[in-house]
């Protein structure tokens, strides 16, 4: 029997129009989007489906992405497809929490709205930066960043791709040092803040205060936490892990390896784009990957899983 993981992309994957067919053609999808509008006090369909300058602003992006991801997931589940485990990259972890029954859909959407605001406000625009470091040994990147101030590893995405984050000048200097150490490329990313760096520690602590009001339940299925790359199977550590996640490294490659070691052989990426599928190709080419981005993808995935 295949073991299935639902996986959810993070901020940066958002696209105008994401989830529109789920909203227009399914009752379940429409319900999720309309409920998000009620909770947040603005039109989430308008934010997601109509060209605007807010979709790429962190405080809006996070709520939009999680709403779209949950809508797609709930429609997929109606087809009888359910995960054995779940995980999400950074922001995507909140969709994973909803999939695992740890947080209600309402709480996941409302919490990331607060998370987005806190992260947006944490560091003035232009002060922080992030960069992708390509084709350099992980140990070298760890060594260089550990020897510097104000720069951290933000994401362990896959072999050959690590993202660093921190104060802009420190990130630029680290890029030069890493290129000198043999990195094929060091690319500054178009982001609005130094996410998953020590500069966001205070934002994480403020999120911890928000989470005090949030009901956390024991997972119905295990989910893999970004901070530890380990399964979470009880409610107790969840709030602390989410508090730390804002300023800690996202151990995505290690999270996937944890699932693979547990016998997971089928990964369904739910949300816009194919970022995680791209990482998966570099982590383990043998794993089966599917994407659910459009409504028509659901029947294809259901068919393929039936044949497996």
Q: Among this protein's residues, is 165 annotated catalytic? A: no
In the set 196, 197, 248, 249, the catalytic residue is 196
Is the distance from CB of 139 to CB of 156 less than 8 angstroms? no
Catalytic residue among 90, 165, 247, 249: 90
Is 2 assigned a catalytic role?
Answer: no
**Residues catalogued as catalytic:** 90, 196
């Amino acid at each position: 029997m295949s073991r299935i993981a639902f996986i959810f992309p993070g901020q940066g994957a958002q696209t105008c129009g994401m989830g529109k067919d789920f909203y227009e053609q399914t009752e379940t999808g429409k319900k999720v989007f309309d409920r998000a509008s009620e909770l947040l006090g603005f039109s989430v369909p308008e934010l997601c489906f109509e060209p605007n300058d807010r979709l790429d602003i962190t405080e809006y992006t996070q709520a939009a992405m999680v709403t779209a991801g949950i809508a797609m997931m709930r429609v997929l589940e109606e087809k009888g497809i359910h995960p054995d485990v779940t995980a999400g990259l950074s922001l995507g972890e909140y969709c994973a929490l909803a999939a695992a029954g740890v947080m209600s859909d309402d709480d996941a959407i409302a919490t990331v709205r607060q998370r987005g605001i806190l992260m947006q406000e944490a560091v003035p625009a232009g002060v922080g930066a992030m960069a992708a470091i390509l084709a350099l040994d992980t140990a070298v990147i760890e060594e260089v960043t550990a020897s510097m101030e104000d720069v951290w590893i933000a994401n362990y995405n896959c072999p050959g791709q690590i993202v660093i984050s921190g104060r802009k000048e420190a990130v630029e200097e680290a890029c030069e040092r890493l290129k000198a150490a043999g990195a094929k490329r060091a690319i500054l990313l178009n982001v609005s803040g130094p996410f998953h760096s020590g500069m966001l520690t205070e934002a994480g602590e403020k999120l911890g205060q928000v989470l005090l009001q949030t009901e956390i339940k024991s997972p119905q299925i295990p989910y893999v936490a970004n901070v530890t790359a380990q399964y979470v199977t009880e409610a107790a550590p969840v709030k602390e892990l989410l508090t730390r996640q804002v300023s800690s490294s996202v151990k995505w490659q290690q999270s996937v390896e944890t699932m693979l070691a547990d016998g997971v052989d089928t990964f369904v990426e739910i949300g816009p784009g194919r970022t995680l599928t791209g990482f998966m190709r570099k982590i383990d080419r043998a794993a089966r990957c599917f994407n659910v981005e459009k409504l028509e993808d659901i029947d294809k995935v259901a068919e393929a899983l039936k044949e497996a």
